[in-house]
Chains A and B, each alone.
Chain A
Amino acid sequence: MKGETLKDTIETVANYVDLIVLRHPYDGAARWAADVTTNRMKRGHKKVPIINGGDGKNEHPTQAMLDLYSIKKTQKRIDGLDIAIVGDLKYGRTVHSLAYALALYDCRIRFVAPEILQIPEHIEAYLKRRNVKYTKHSKIEEVISDVDIIYMTRIQKERFPDENEYNKVRGIFKLNRSMLSKAKTTMRVLHPLPRVDEISVDVDEDIRAYYFEQAGNGIPVRMALLSLILGGEENE
């Protein structure tokens, strides 16, 4: 760490590459990086697109793309589905991007989290403006029998400003195989990974566990994204 600003890093790296995938600890870093490359273009340099690979606790859009792909692949549709998102909804950037993405479809979202980790107000305001159907819950049991997807997330210790706050909620949600007995057989369990203890390993053997395949879906989805941005040709 030499104290270089993100602007300087982008201005430098943009000379070497055709595209930048940026993962950064600060919220909004990718947007700023895109502004920097846009200004660079105005100065006559080539276009260097930015892909947000996760900015702080804000967003992780390519994860949301592979999440949508995984939902569509397993349920054959997205409209009309009932989707539970469980865990750290406040700091979980994959959750934020997924909520924005699902707002484009006609589905019902169930946000399951302790009060202090519920979905941020500004995202809730966005969902309200778009008339998205959503409810908030504090227990997985309240929703498990109704939903088509359970999207589990890790309580992220590294995002908590205060360790005491983390200790209050660590391990609060744990999905195990016996809980799945109440779920639809067509329901699928998703998780952006890595998991810690929020999904018991016994769930791995259940037909409803889909998180490892979901991670694999990241390859074709991100390949497609790179191809779209860099102007690759469509294969038959």
Chain B
Amino acid sequence: MSEYTANVKLNTTKKGLIVRLIKDGTVIDHIPPGKGIKIAELLNLFNQDSVVIIGQNLESTKYGKKDIIKVENRFLKSEEYNKISLIAPYATINIIKNYEIVEKKKVVIPDVLEDVALCNNANCISNKEPVPSKLYVISKEPLIVMCHYCGYEFSGENIRLKT
């Protein structure tokens, strides 16, 4: 029995009370502290009817502190995994069905970011005309990307995601 299932009735973790559990939906775990809201905005979670729960600065055995997002009746598309990976490279995505974790995935930074993030060169054609952005990931740690069109190379810290 998973930790998640074990806590369904008690609605607690080993560390104590947590916010309510969801029946069906997605839990995005291991988000760097302070980035939860950004990811929720990016996934457009605030503009829907489903329950969205964001936990900030929760204790994490692995990373010290973390944010967590729970969203009911919402499952992520592959391009959304890519977006999350750029902000939270160690995030885990848990798919919940009937209070059970039925699937657990780690996000992976893809080799190519197609129409996910913007080139940081303001004069790039992809920022001037309706052109799908395309960035090659030339290093994952630290994250460094290069624009397919203008060749501009920049750090992932400065990456701006398409909304």
Whether a CB of chain A sits under 8 angstroms from the CB of B148 is yes
Q: Is A56 an interface residue, CB under 8 A from the partner?
A: yes
- Cα A125 to Cα B144 with chains together (Å): 11
Contact of A31 among B121, B129, B130, B148 (CB under 8 A): B148
- Is the pair B149, A28 in contact by a Cβ cutoff of 8 Å? yes
Report yes or no: A28 in contact with B150, Cβ–Cβ below 8 A.
Answer: yes
Interface contact A122-B129, CB-CB below 8 Å: no
Interface assignment of A57: CB less than 8 Å from any CB of chain B: yes
Q: Which residues of A contact B130 (CB under 8 A)?
A: 5, 7
Interface of B is mostly: loop
In the complex, are the beta carbons of A26 and B128 less than 8 A apart? yes
Interface residues, chain B, with chain A CB atoms under 8 Å away: 119, 121, 123-126, 128-131, 146-154
Any chain B CB within 8 A of the CB of A71? no
Q: How far is the CA of A7 from the CA of B121 in the complex (A)?
A: 20
Cβ-defined contact, A56 with B148, below 8 A: no
A1-25 vs B, CB cutoff 8 Å, 1 = contact: the mask equals: 0000111000000000000000011
Q: Does A55 make an interface contact (CB < 8 A)?
A: yes
Among B129, B146, B147, the residue within 8 A (CB) of A7 is B129
Rounded to whole Å, the gap between the CB of A220 and the closest CB of chain B is 27
Q: Decide if A27 touches B149 in the complex (CB within 8 Å).
A: yes
- In the bound complex, how far is the Cα of B151 from the Cα of A174, in angstroms? 31
Nearest 7 CB-CB pairs, A to B? A28-B149, A28-B150, A122-B153, A27-B150, A26-B125, A28-B125, A31-B149
